[in-house]
Chain A
Amino acid sequence: MSSQLNVDTIVDKAGSGGTNVKIANNAVTVSEGGNATTNTVKGLAKAWVHFTTVSSTAVNNNMSFNISSLTDVGTGNTTCNLSNAFTNVSIVAHFNVGDGANGDQSIVQNNGTTSTINLYCFNGSNANHDSSCCAASGFGDLA
C-alpha cells in the first residue's frame, strides 16, 4: 500500500534542524506545478566542491560535500576522491573555473571509477593551467 505524507517543513525529531533526516531512495515529491512527481533522492547533488589548484590543491573554506580528498595530479589536473562511491562509472559531473583573466576552460574526464572524478583546467592556449576558483558537482546514484 502506498502512503503519502502532507507536510510543509521537514526537520529532525528534535525539531532543531534537518541534518539527521533520512529519505528512502524511492521517495518522490510532488512537483512545483502539482501535476507530476519527481524522485527526491535522484534529484539531489551527490557531491560538490569549491577548490583551488594554485600553490597547492585545496578545498576553499571547507566548501565540499562527499569529497574525502583532492589529488594534485599535475598542473591544472585534479582528481576528486569521493567519500561515498557511485553505483555507475558514468557520473554526471560538471566542472567550471572562474579565473577568466586567463581564458580558462574546464573539462571533466570520466576515468572509469565509481569513486573518483578527474578534472582538467586549461587556458586559452590549450595548456594545462592552475586556477584559484574551481567548482565541480556530481549527480547520479550512490552505491
Chain B
Amino acid sequence: MASQLKVDTLTGVTTAGSIDVTGEGNSTTTNLQQGLAKAFIIFTQAATYVDHNSFNVSSLGDDGTGLTTINWSSAFSTAYYSSTIGIGEFGVTYRNIPALGITSNSSRTTNLLKFHSQTTGQGTADTPDNSVTIHGDLA
C-alpha cells in the first residue's frame, strides 16, 4: 500500500542542510540539497528588461548593452557556484555572439552574478531569452 507523508519542511537530523536520497539504481545515495538548482532565470536584455520566468531572483540590473546584474533572493555560501548559461533565440545575428558568461570572478558574489553577452568583435550586445541556472550551496 502506498503511503503519504505531508510535511512543509525537510530537515536533516545529523546536519540540518543535508539529506540523502536513494539513487535510481538503488545502490548509492545522492545529496538532495546539493542536487537542487538553487536559482534559474530566462530573461531578455532590451531597453526594458523582461524576466520571463525565474526562481530565487530578486531583481535584474541593467549595466549597459549586453551587461546584466542578476541579484539572488537567498545568498550563496560562497561566490564560487556553478553557472550554466545560454541564449535562446535562433538567427544569424545571435550566432555571432559566441561568449556568454560572467564579467569576471570578482563580479560574481554570494548575492549577485554579472552576466554579459559578448560579440565576436569583443563588444557586447543585448540578447533575448538568456537562460541561467545555478547550482551550489546556499548560505
Contacts of B9 in A (CB 8 A): 2-5, 27-30, 37
Interface-facing stretch out of B22-30, B61-69, B111-119: B22-30
In the complex, A2→B19 CA distance in Å? 20
In the complex, A117→B4 CA distance in Å? 33
Minimum CB–CB distance from B25 to chain A (whole Å) comes to 9
What class of interface size applies to chain B in its complex with A? 35 or more
* B interface footprint on A90-131 (CB within 8 Å = 1, 0 otherwise): 111111000000000111111000000010101000100000
* A interface footprint on B1-33 (CB within 8 Å = 1, 0 otherwise): 111111111111111111111111010010011
Q: Is the interface of B mostly helix, strand, loop or mixed?
A: loop
Asked if A33 contacts B17 (CB within 8 A), the reply is yes
Asked if A30 contacts B12 (CB within 8 A), the reply is yes
Minimum CB–CB distance from A75 to chain B (whole Å) comes to 14
| Residues A35 and B37 in contact in the complex (CB < 8 Å), given A10-B32, A90-B42 | no
Asked if B36 contacts A92 (CB within 8 A), the reply is no
Asked if B13 contacts A7 (CB within 8 A), the reply is yes
* B interface footprint on A7-23 (CB within 8 Å = 1, 0 otherwise): 11111110011111110
Minimum CB–CB distance from B70 to chain A (whole Å) comes to 13
* B interface footprint on A68-96 (CB within 8 Å = 1, 0 otherwise): 00000000000000000000101111110
| Residues A9 and B18 in contact in the complex (CB < 8 Å), given A4-B8, A33-B139, A45-B37 | no
| Residues A105 and B95 in contact in the complex (CB < 8 Å), given A9-B20, A34-B17, A40-B36 | yes
A39 sits at the interface (CB 8 A): yes
> Which residues of B in the span 19-75 have a Cβ within 8 Å of any Cβ on A?
19-24, 26, 29, 32-38, 40-42, 52-53, 55-56, 74-75
* A interface footprint on B59-94 (CB within 8 Å = 1, 0 otherwise): 000000000000000110100000011111110101
| Residues A94 and B133 in contact in the complex (CB < 8 Å), given A38-B36, A42-B55 | yes
Asked if B74 contacts A30 (CB within 8 A), the reply is no
| Residues A9 and B21 in contact in the complex (CB < 8 Å), given A2-B9, A17-B26 | yes
Contacts of A107 in B (CB 8 A): 86-90, 94-95
Pairs across A and B, CB under 8 Å, 23 listed: A4-B10, A7-B12, A8-B19, A9-B21, A16-B22, A19-B22, A28-B8, A28-B9, A29-B9, A30-B17, A31-B138, A32-B137, A33-B139, A34-B15, A43-B37, A93-B88, A93-B131, A108-B87, A110-B42, A118-B90, A122-B95, A126-B96, A139-B55
Going nearest first, the 7 A-B pairs with the smallest beta carbon separation are A43-B36, A90-B52, A31-B138, A18-B22, A32-B137, A33-B139, A90-B53
